Amino acid sequence: MKIELSGRVFTGQGEGRKYIVRPWVKREIEEKLGFTPYAGTLNLRLSKESEQQRSLLEKSAFLKVCAAEGCCSGLIFKASISAQDCAVVIPEVEGYPKDVLEIIAWTNLRERLQLRDGDEVTVTVDL
């Protein structure tokens, strides 16, 4: 089953990068998704409809990045944007915004797909 989520690209605060570069996070992603992640995330502000569909993802999660001591865990899903393989990460942090989606890949998606803040993007997530 696949779910399509749409949103607009926005510049985050660099928090995703802090986690992606941690050795245990990289190792978990390599083991579970089969790629070494680029040190950063592509951030999307989801449409209202996609925000509601995101809750379906959380309920159907079967891959998880398990936290090292003092860090948060996260749900991960294989996905694609414009035929470019990637993954969606949903941090398991209380109060994390439901309208935000973080996407990781082996490459800088913003550059590879020539995206700018405000561009609309559709992510196809595999369940």
Least confident of 18-27, 84-93, 112-121: 18-27
pLDDT 10s digits, 93-107: 788 899 999 999 999
Architecture of domain 2-126: Beta Barrel (2.40)
Tokens of 56: 């379906």
**Residues β-bridged to residue 81:** 84
**DSSP secondary structure string for all residues of 26-72:** HHHHHHHHSSPPPSS-EEEEE-HHHHHHHHHHHHH--EEEPPPTTS-
State pLDDT tens for residues 8-56.
Answer: 999 987 777 777 888 888 888 898 899 999 999 999 999 999 998 888 8
pLDDT of residue 120: 97
Backbone φ and ψ of 60, nearest 5°: -110, 10
Contact yes or no for 29/35 (Cβ under 8 A)? yes
Residue 69 clears pLDDT 80, i.e. is over it: no
pTM for the complete prediction?
A: 0.88
Average pLDDT over residues 52-65: 77
